[in-house]
Amino acid sequence: PTIQYIIEEAVASGIEEILIVTSSMKRPIEDHFDKSYELEDTLEKKGKHEMLEMVQGISNLAQIHYVRQKEAKGLGHAILCAKTFIKDEPFVVLLGDDVVVNDENPATHQLVNAYNKIGCSIMGVQRVPREDVSKYGIVRPSQSHTPTENGRMVKLTGMVEKPSQESAPSDLAVMGRYVLTPEIFEMLENQEPGAGNEIQLTDAIDTLNKTQRVFAHEFKGTRYDVGDKFGFLKTSIQYGLKHPEIKDSLNDYIIELGKKLEKE
């Protein structure tokens, strides 16, 4: 499941305590990361040591905790469910349907590094074609502040959730990775529903920006939207092309398929 890659990214970025915000119907997530006594026992008896190690690896990945979001009131509301867990520390947010591939330096690690330099909330962004801005939270870069980190780090004057093409303040879209200061919870508690009649994280960050500096960091990596059918398929192919067991045959298959499609 793709959430495995999200958790692996968090762990590879130095995160040790993870809270997954789930809901009813999402029980399989808890089972996936739990210890599977029966399965481990069967694999052990059958001498399937490689698979046994893989299964054990999943449950030993990190300290994973769960909280249920009881009503689908939006991303901002989901984050608010984590308040008691987070207490008074900065934290990272990784959205489950944004998978980002960067084997050398995971996207979350890039944001944590940036946070360690400036100590402010940071949005992980990438540029999107103008016609796609209405799918995302879009940041409004400050005109007076000079971008740093080779132009990758910009200060914000605001953020808008899913703006129209005409009203979008830039083409820098939030890609499901955030570092947030704990003051965000105060904003979320008082946040009125916004786009889609949901409590939007974007709106709360926009409010936070009135009292704290907020930055956007253009992270390096290939981002896939697994909440979208075509995006899901592309992600599967990308991961397949890296998988030691199937990468060669998948590569050959794609080349063959390409030749066939060219002829058609």
DSSP H helical ranges for the chain: 2-12, 27-33, 37-45, 49-59, 75-80, 83-86, 107-118, 184-189, 201-208, 229-240, 247-263
Q: How many CB atoms lie within 10 A of CB 178?
A: 24
∠ at Cα 187 (128, 11), nearest 5°? 60
Size of the site for ligand G1P (CB under 6 A): 12
H/E run at residue 264: none
User: Which amino acid is residue 43, in one-letter code?
Assistant: L
CB of 195 to ligand G1P, least distance (A): 8
Does residue 75 touch ligand G1P according to CB under 6 A? Answer: yes
CB of 213 to ligand G1P, least distance (A): 19
Does residue 124 touch ligand G1P according to CB under 6 A? Answer: no
Tell me whether residue 90 or residue 194 sits nearer to ligand G1P (CB atom). Answer: 194
What is residue 225's three-state secondary structure?
strand
Does residue 79 touch ligand G1P according to CB under 6 A? Answer: no
Site for ligand G1P in 221-240 (CB under 6 A): none
CB-closest chain residue to ligand G1P: 137
Q: How many CA atoms lie within 13 A of 97 on its CB side?
A: 12
Does residue 21 touch ligand G1P according to CB under 6 A? Answer: no
Does residue 202 touch ligand G1P according to CB under 6 A? Answer: yes
Q: At what angle do helices 49-59 and 37-45 cross, to 10 degrees?
A: 160
Does residue 100 touch ligand G1P according to CB under 6 A? Answer: no
Give the C-alpha separation, 71 to 23, whole Å: 8
Does residue 136 touch ligand G1P according to CB under 6 A? Answer: yes
CB of 129 to ligand G1P, least distance (A): 14
Site mask, ligand G1P, residues 137-156, x = CB under 6 A?
x-------------------
Residue from 3, 174, 179, 204 touching ligand G1P (CB under 6 A): that is 174
H/E run at residue 105: none
Does residue 188 touch ligand G1P according to CB under 6 A? Answer: no
Tokens 């809270």 sit on residue: 19
- 119 Ramachandran zone, left/alpha/beta (phi>0; psi -120 to 50): left
CB of 98 to ligand G1P, least distance (A): 5
CB of 136 to ligand G1P, least distance (A): 3
Cross-strand bridge partners of residue 126: 173
Does residue 176 touch ligand G1P according to CB under 6 A? Answer: yes
CB of 199 to ligand G1P, least distance (A): 10
Does residue 95 touch ligand G1P according to CB under 6 A? Answer: yes
Residue from 18, 79, 98, 185 touching ligand G1P (CB under 6 A): that is 98
H/E run at residue 98: strand 98-101
Residues that bind ligand G1P (CB under 6 A): 75, 95, 98, 136-137, 161, 173-176, 201-202
